[in-house]
Amino acid sequence: MNVLLAVLRKDLLIEWRSRDRLVAMLVFAVLVVVVLYFAAPPGQEETARAHVPGLLWVAWVFATVLGLGRSFALELENDALSALALAPADRGWIFLGKALANVILVTTVQALSAVAFALAFGLDLWPVAGRLACLAVLGAIGLCSLGTLFSAMAIRTSNREVMLPLLMLPLMVPVLLGAVRCTQQLVATGELPWSPLQLLLVTDGVFLIISFLGFEYVLDE
Amino acid sequence: MNAAAEPGATPAIEARGLTRRFGPVVALRPLDLAVASGTTLAVLGPNGAGKSTLLRLLSGLARPSGGTLHFDGVGADRVGRRQRIGLIGHATFLYPALTARENLALAARLWKVADPEERASQLLDEQDLQAAADRPVGGFSRGMAQRVAIARALVHDPEILLLDEPFTGLDPTAADRLAGRLAAARGRRTSLLVSHDLARAASLADAALVLVRGEARALPTGALGSAELLGEAYREAVSALGSEGRA
């Protein structure tokens, strides 16, 4: 637990000082909102609104991939990753610290870009804000758990920018399926459907366990 | 090869047939090694000989392709081993965006030291870095960063210290201070010192081995009498291992 907190604190402090990942992810997510706003055919605002839940997750997923790509870049300078790998603890705790820092970053971007979506498409998300926030966090956990593992795997490859989305996106289908279905129904009816929520919860659990256990080997040379 | 190990005593570090391959390239050929507790072994050799690979295998950063490792006669439990080992590597292992104090406090937290801030402050004092303690390490000179890196490796007062060119970038005062520390820890801490500085190696080590293209040879203890004797023995060993490798 000490190691988790130390890594989390370190990642957030470095991000707070540079803000480079947060700004890049946020600009990307807002750009997606702008593009989609102008892409919506005039006079069909209602149809566009129906697609907002799916579009939200499109923006969030790609912003997450962008942020995760940089997650281990800060560990490469001065080979700081070796110092983490030398820590006398199960390396799964290092994974949890980094994944949690990524979840915090992604949920910040999700919150701010959801406001941009609501304003651009005239949606009133306020009545479902609490449940939407829970869904966003659950989705972020799914994306960031396996994403953090793959980011660590990709960082030592020569073409890491290509490797991360190639490894990550195909396996994110169950997370996206669950999250998008839940968000669609939540925005439309104000209710959370149990079946896709179950899929999201189970996928999060499985991804977390696999990544926690796999991280020990990923940090080996 | 018995390096600095007394007959009958359990060595602090013992390797049997330790090997490391990178695909078809053999970075370390089967190596038998025993280092007695509290002694210093100098690991010498030309560039690309496998010295850093050996330290990374011993530290647990890399997995061996073959062979076994024992620490105080016990098989290498990776987490337990990492608790006992401090590594000063080629790179400083520091975060440029964090200050020297924050880097050391982070290391202290990772090694579960009781009072991380206090320990960081103590190490900054020892390295004469208090004046620069709250500046980001990214703005430090190579020598200053190396002093922080040395402090980082010592944060948990390790029983075994692995040093890969630790004098790199240090000014003469800092280099002498490090050499003094290493000399003072003899008998208490087991060290492996990778260095191209034969004078330092001769003055600090109890035994020496030479690595050439992954092949190791122990030098006679008498060679550690002076830098000249060590230089002579080193050149002979490099030449012999080189011709064996070509044969």
Q: What is the mean pLDDT of chain B?
A: 89
pLDDT value for B153: 95
Contact B87 A6 (CB under 8 A): no
Q: Which residue has the higher pLDDT, A24 or A53?
A: A24
Domains in chain B, start-ordered, CATH in brackets? 2-246 (3.40.50.300)
pLDDT at A92: 94
A92-137 pLDDT, tens digit per residue, is 999 999 999 999 999 999 999 999 988 888 888 888 999 999 999 9
Would you call B91 and A86 a contact, using CB atoms and an 8 Å cutoff?
Answer: no
The nearest CA of chain A is from the CA of B86 a distance in Å of: 9
How many whole angstroms from its chain centre is CA A135?
Answer: 12
Q: Which amino acid belongs to residue B134? A: D
- Residue of chain A minimizing CA distance to B57: A221
Cβ separation A6–B59 shorter than 8 A: no
CA distance A14 to chain B (A): 6
Closest residue, chain B, to A91 (C-alpha): B79
> CA B169, CA B2: separation in Å to the nearest integer?
32
B 148-177: CB under 8 A from A:
152, 156
Task: Tell whether the model's pLDDT for residue A2 goes beyond 90.
Answer: no
Residues ≥6 apart with Cβ < 8 Å to B85: A86, B58, B59, B60, B158, B159, B160, B161, B162
In three-state secondary structure terms, B50 is coil
A85, closest residue in chain B (CA to CA)? B61
Whether A220 shows a pLDDT value over 90: the answer reads no
Q: Answer whether B94 touches A (CB < 8 Å).
A: yes
Q: What is the mean pLDDT of residues A70-94?
A: 91
B20 touches chain A (CB under 8 A): no
Task: Read off the pLDDT of each residue in A22-40 and give the average, rounded to a whole number.
Answer: 90
Quick check: A191 pLDDT over 50?
Answer: yes
CB-based contact, B95 to chain A, within 8 Å: yes
Asked whether the beta carbons of residue A86 and residue B95 sit closer than 8 angstroms, the reply is: no
pLDDT tens string B182-198:
999 888 899 999 999 99
* Residue B139 contacts A, CB cutoff 8 Å: no
Task: Give me the pLDDT at residue B145, please.
Answer: 95
Contact A82 B89 (CB under 8 A): yes
Q: B217 φ, ψ to 5°? A: -145, 130
Chain A contact set for B94 (CB, 8 A): 78, 80, 83
Across the interface, of A17, A74, A90, the residue whose CB is closest to B79 is A90
Predicted local confidence at residue B6, as pLDDT: 57
pLDDT in tens, B22-75: 888 889 999 999 999 999 999 999 998 899 999 999 998 888 999 999 888 777
> What residues of chain B lie within 8 A of the CB of A18, using their CB?
97
Radius of gyration of chain B (CA): 18
Has residue A42 got a pLDDT over 80? no
- Determine the pLDDT at residue B247: 46
Report the distance separating Cα A58 and Cα A149, nearest Å: 21
Q: Which of B61, B63, B95 sits opposite A82 (nearest CB)?
A: B61
From A89-93, B76-80, B130-134, the region with the lowest mean pLDDT: B76-80
Query: What distance in Å separates residue B109's CA from the closest CA in chain A?
Result: 6
Average pLDDT on B226-235 reads: 88
Percent of chain A with pLDDT over 70: 98
Encoded amino acid at B240, one letter: A
Backbone φ and ψ for B199, nearest 5 degrees, come out as -65, -45
Q: Which residues pair with B35 in a beta bridge?
A: B3, B13
Considering chain B, what percentage of its residues have pLDDT values greater than 70?
94
Least confident of A6-10, A176-180, A216-220, B120-124: A216-220
**Distance from chain centroid for Cα A13:** 19
**B108 to chain A: closest CA residue:** A6
